Amino acid sequence: MELKFFLTLNNKLVSVNDLYKAKVGYSAGRPYPVIYKNPKAVRLSTEMRDQMRALTLSADQLNWLKTTKQFTLYLHAVFKTGVNSRDASNIVKLAEDELVKYIKNDLGVEDYDDSMHIKVISEKSVLPKATHEFLGVCLSDYVQNIRFDSVNRPEKIWINKDQIITFPPIPKRKKKDVKYYELVDKDSADTLIYVIENEDDLNRLNTVNIIQDVESVNLLRKYNFIYIAILNRNIPGINEFKATMDEYTSHYSGIKSEYLNSNNEIENWIKSF
């Protein structure tokens, strides 16, 4: 689920460095500091909120905002000028604040807060001679475990070959320190296992599908692990494929490939995870 929209702005996007101004006030002849919001930022905030209020959200999107606790926020600023002198990260504060106010106050999601934005990405582009500036906003799920001291383990496994491996039913009372695995469909899995036995298997994996699955581990965090078991070393092109997977493994611990000799070795390999 995601919330995605694009704002067309008459007012220039305001940097966090320019959100507030300071002046000197006087009380009984004595000076004191006064901090106030830059009028440019006030006008931009009003413009952003007015456009957000015009959005139409589905019931599913509203329920998603109410029940989800971790989000990724992506912001894409399109400047009219100054792309080399304006920082993409500096537009985050005001945009994030206005998004939170919209969701919290206008949509009635009272518990919503910017602390729920676990991952924030900002990007900038330039559109010379444009009459407006623009801001793209995408709010989506953040599914990675934010506990730095916890280690994920495979639990729900999908395998590309039927009846390659069977696991005993998971008991109602799990024994301590014993690993249990459940075979599920791909959409429900946290771990994907691909078994390559012949050239047809390799050709199917050498399409965009395997790359999308790998990116799901690296970027989208849809899956925790991808394991590739190669049962035939003589397949044309298999060594090049293995080298590519090893390159991914060197960067991402959730991706592994291995030459194995039998289905029993596959099962033992999985149990070693």
Nearest CA-CA partner of 201 in 261, 249, 241, 163: 241
Residue 84: per-residue pLDDT: 86
C-alpha 91/C-alpha 15 separation (Å) is 5
Residues of the chain with CATH 3.40.50: 156-271
Indicate the SS3 state at residue 246.
Answer: helix
Q: In whole angstroms, how far apart are CA 161 and each of 188, 229, 245, 259?
A: 16, 11, 20, 17
Q: Which CATH class is domain 2-141?
A: alpha beta
Residue 168: per-residue pLDDT: 59
CATH number of 156-271: 3.40.50
The pTM assigned to this predicted structure is 0.57
Nearest CA-CA partner of 97 in 81, 68, 120, 80: 120
Residue 192: per-residue pLDDT: 85
Residue 117: per-residue pLDDT: 94
Spell out where the chain has E strands: 2-9, 20-27, 30-37, 71-79, 117-126, 133-141, 156-159, 182-183, 191-196, 225-230, 255-259
Written as six digits, the tokens of 56 are 């139409």
Q: At 170, phi and psi to the nearest 5?
A: -75, 125
Residues of the chain with CATH 3.30.1330.70: 2-141
Residue 8: per-residue pLDDT: 94
Successive 10-residue mean pLDDT values, the chain, 273 residues: 92 81 83 82 91 93 92 93 85 91 94 92 91 93 67 77 63 62 80 87 72 59 78 90 83 79 76 70
- Report whether 103 contacts 109 (CB < 8 A): yes
